[in-house]
Amino acid sequence: MTITAASSPTTGLDPALFRTLLRRQASTVTVVTAPGQPPTGFTATSFTSVSLRPPLVSFCVDRASSSWPAVSRAGHVAVHLLATGQQELARRFATSGIDRFAEPTRWRPGPYDVPILDDPLAWFLCRLIDRVTAGDHAVVLAEPVDGGTGTGDPLLYHDGRYTGLGDLSARTA
């Protein structure tokens, strides 16, 4: 199926079509946490590596979100790559108006008081380098300074739902 929409150089791609097209990209599900009283965290699918020398990563955050004030002033954050089976954790950190760090969330205070979630596929403790305004979001550039790995396969977000590698290969076979 091909979806097309008229666009012009002055208006760009229709936002609804843009969202439909992006749903076709499979993204690793991440949770970003920041220190504070209370700590802050949110689910993101916009995480990517930027550079190996020096090590740099990026993620995006909506500047209207409840997490933005903490991220905008934080010196350090943690980025957690979630594993298959952590869908409920992803949903919890994507839900507004709740204490995302209350039970059943398992976490510990890490360096710089950054919350470190238990049992992710991998995690990075990052020093924030820059925040670049990009439309209604900010692109946050960060330098990993510590990290660790867990076990399992990545939790992915594709076509508006959480899935795993096995689920995607079964759908394309």
Domain ranges for the chain: 26-172
Cβ distance 124 to 55 under 8 Å?
no
Q: What is the pTM of this model?
A: 0.86
Q: Is the pLDDT of residue 9 over 60?
A: no
Of the segments 3-17, 140-154, 158-172, which one has the largest average pLDDT value?
140-154
Q: Is the pLDDT of residue 89 over 80?
A: yes
Could you tell me whether strands 115-117 and 122-134 are parallel, antiparallel, or unpaired per DSSP bridges?
A: unpaired
Q: How confident is residue 23, by pLDDT bands cut at 50, 70 and 90? A: confident
Cβ distance 31 to 90 under 8 Å?
yes
> What is the fold, at CATH topology level, of the domain defined by 26-172?
Pnp Oxidase; Chain A (2.30.110)
CA distance 161 to 173: 19
pLDDT at res. 15 = 85
